[in-house]
Amino acid sequence: MSGPPQPVPQGDYVPARRHGTLIFTSGMTPRRDGVLLHHGPVRADAPVDDYRDAVRLACGNALAAAHGMLAPGESLAAILSLTVYVAAEPGFTAHSRIADLASAYLREELGDAGIGSRAAVGVASLPGNAPVEIQLVAAT
């Protein structure tokens, strides 16, 4: 496996699992080398752009996990599904705008193949007090 460094699991799981041409990533938070760099919750009174770096890092980790499942010479054909979990304080309603940051990152990295179906889900909390967690389903 070459490519970007693989995310460090924070429990008893693997960063991604492949079945045939499908790759399912675990939920990824904004960590680098196992260290959470951004903390939540997403504040209702903060601009969505304040969370851009956290979303890009979490999404980059998910994409790196997917790339780690590729055989030499293979590439990702498409992101089939993107799920963005947002740990938001009460009153926050811009979940889809947070998810748009992840979609923009995937489009930058993969072009139109980076855009698939999507869900933006508000939750009370995420592991380690992360503001976002991102999970992908990709096809080779």
CA distance 29 to 126: 9
Q: Which residues contact 69 (CB under 8 A, 6 or more apart)?
A: 1, 16, 17, 18, 23
What is the SS3 assignment for 28?
A: strand
Say if pTM beats, i.e. exceeds, 0.85: yes
Helix-helix angle 95-110:52-67, to 10 degrees:
50
pLDDT value of residue 4:
67
SS3 80: strand
pLDDT digits (tens), the chain, 140 positions: 445 678 888 899 999 999 999 999 999 999 999 999 999 999 999 999 999 999 999 999 999 999 999 999 999 999 999 999 999 999 999 999 999 999 999 999 999 999 999 999 999 999 999 999 999 999 99
Residues 128, 119: Cα–Cα separation, whole Å: 22
Q: 58-94, pLDDT tens digit by residue?
A: 999 999 999 999 999 999 999 999 999 999 999 999 9
Q: Which residues neighbour 98 within 8 Å (Cβ) at sequence distance 6 or greater? A: 42, 48, 51, 55, 84, 86, 120, 132
